[in-house]
Structure 1
Amino acid sequence: MKLAIVAITRHGIALAGRMLAVLPDTRLFVPEKFRADAERVAPDASCSYPGKVGDQIPALFAAFEGIIAIVSVGAVVRLIAPHLRDKTQDPAVVVVDEAGKFAIPVLSGHLGGANALARQLATALGATPVLTTASDVRQTLAVDLLGRELGWTLEASHETLVRASAAVVNDEPVALVQEVGRTDWWPHHANGRSGPLPANLALFDQLEAIDPTAFAAVLWISHRELPTALAEPLRGKLVIYRPG
């Protein structure tokens, strides 16, 4: 992930120096008056700017996949609000307090990787990651991330993804049908899952083996086309994953 760190105080710049030691491909952005301080902690990776930090947000959003802001949460919310598009395009944004005690994802935590970045920063700084995404907090299955680290793609409407995700986190019965692909996806899923599979997840090896009426959502890992006879019974509840 290509990252930018934004710091607006001397204490923040010092903390940024600790982050830069463990984050490759990262640049530090500071106000012009702190140019010398930034160059001391990041001689080859610092940029200073004139004017207000808010004026830098459009360029940062365009150029970086993730932004770490050593700024108050409230200020960051106000700064980024005018530039938000949608969760498939917005960069990950994580706020870290000047004391380095907390790493707080505020944008694109789940799909954009801010939760994973917060965990990485927490490990590096000895901080606490403040996560609020239900699937990450509960360490359950993230429907829109299943198999992403393995190169799988998914086919489903936004409405179906929302419905299936809600079924998982609300402990409704969900069928997972895996006909192809690697079966070791759970330990690597959504930055790692160490516990057992969710209890509301029922595993099958053929789509035809399930009763569509018994499940709130069906997650199907396959190369096959959807059988015509199942198209209507699974309408609105089927998410298809295509392993590469």
Structure 2
Amino acid sequence: MPQHLPFPNDRIAVVSITRHGIALAGKVVAVLPGATLFAPDKFRAEAAAAAPGAAACYAGKTGDQIPALFAAFDGIVAIVSLGAVVRLIAPHLKNKDADPGVVVLDEAARYAIPVLSGHLGGANALAGVLAETLGAQPVLTTASDARETLAVDLLGRELGWTFEATHDEIVRASAAVVNDEPVALVQEAGSRDWWPRHANGRGGPLPANIRLDVTRIEDIDPAAWGAVLWVSHRPLPAALAPQLAGKTVIYRPPQAAQ
């Protein structure tokens, strides 16, 4: 299904350090117009030919460019070995809310491997775009993607939904989803079109452990569910808050979606 990036193409950097990789980087820039190709200065001519008007060359070590790339771009396609990329980015990692989505693409364009910030950072979606446009195979290792189930931190994102939850609540709800625990999805607001044709969705039916039976949060039996996903504009009822603490993710659709 078509992939949707959570950032514009001009927030994507394509990094390559070899002649053959630079040629492929030019193809990546062509399918992601607005992206910028970064290459060592010694390959300036090759980079300019591969991505006319969209090449930026640097002197010195590639590792020295990482802080600036992390600060200026939301998505990075690295046509560099996986191990080298891990070593290059490791000293600069902060957290999943701040780090860019990083995808490694091999020089033959066979595999697109999300390495960092697969969901919130958009690396999985970026790998999907490369798969669609270059014929690469996306290598997705996040559990929700591998099992083709709901991604808690992506639910409703393309519909403008935001979520309210701590890191631990997201982790607990995500674990409940992928471990086939009963998960209540209580939708009181927003578009119902949040599963198919979206970054969160899949081609098949909603997994059986995610239940839509309850339509009001007051009707929830907290003890019956491993996690509760609540889509609403209302504040959480005070009487339920203690019982749902730690196991609930609240989603806020735009008011206009009612």
Superposed CA offset, 1:82-108 (max 9, x none): 110000000011111111111111011
- What's the offset of the Cα at 1:217? 0.6
- What's the offset of the Cα at 1:173? 0.4
Q: Secondary structure at the match of 1:51?
A: coil
- What's the offset of the Cα at 1:192? 3.8
CA distance in 2, matches of 1:48, 1:157: 40
**Is 1:106 paired with 2:112?**
no
**Is 1:91 paired with 2:104?**
no
| Equivalent position to 2:44, from 28, 35, 46 | 35
- What's the offset of the Cα at 1:240? 0.9
Match of 2:215 in 1: 205
- What's the offset of the Cα at 1:72? 0.4
Match of 1:230 in 2: 240
Does the 8 A contact of 1:167 with 1:174 survive in 2? Answer: yes
CA distance in 2, matches of 1:16, 1:97: 10
Match of 1:186 in 2: 195
Percent identical among aligned pairs is 71
TM-score by length of structure 2 reads 0.92
Q: Which ranges of 4 or more aligned residues in structure 1 deviate by more than 4 Å?
A: none
Any gaps of 5 or more consecutive residues in structure 1?
none
Match of 2:34 in 1: 25
Match of 2:184 in 1: 175
State the superposition RMSD in angstroms.
Answer: 1.1
CA distance in 1, matches of 2:43, 2:172: 48
Q: Secondary structure at the match of 2:239?
A: helix
Does the 8 A contact of 2:154 with 2:200 survive in 1? Answer: no
CA distance in 2, matches of 1:233, 1:49: 55
Superposed CA offset, 1:166-199 (max 9, x none): 0000000010100111001111442542110111
Does the 8 A contact of 2:30 with 2:51 survive in 1? Answer: no
Superposed CA offset, 1:19-54 (max 9, x none): 111102201011111100111111200011111111
Any gaps of 5 or more consecutive residues in structure 2?
1-6
Q: State which drifts further: 189-198 or 158-167.
A: 189-198
Does the 8 A contact of 2:231 with 2:250 survive in 1? Answer: yes
Q: Secondary structure at the match of 2:196?
A: helix
**Is 1:61 paired with 2:65?**
no
Match of 2:3 in 1: none
Match of 2:148 in 1: 139
CA distance in 1, matches of 2:107, 2:140: 19
**Is 1:128 paired with 2:157?**
no
Q: Secondary structure at the match of 1:229?
A: coil
Length, aligned pairs only: 244
Is the alpha carbon distance of 1:194 and 1:72 closer, same or farther for their aligned partners in structure 2, counting shifts above 3 Å?
same
Q: Secondary structure at the match of 1:122?
A: helix
Does the 8 A contact of 1:116 with 1:191 survive in 2? Answer: no
| Equivalent position to 1:7, from 16, 22, 28 | 16
Does the 8 A contact of 1:101 with 1:127 survive in 2? Answer: yes
Does the 8 A contact of 1:145 with 1:189 survive in 2? Answer: no
Q: Secondary structure at the match of 2:249?
A: strand
**Is 1:221 paired with 2:221?**
no
Q: Secondary structure at the match of 2:36?
A: strand
Match of 2:249 in 1: 239
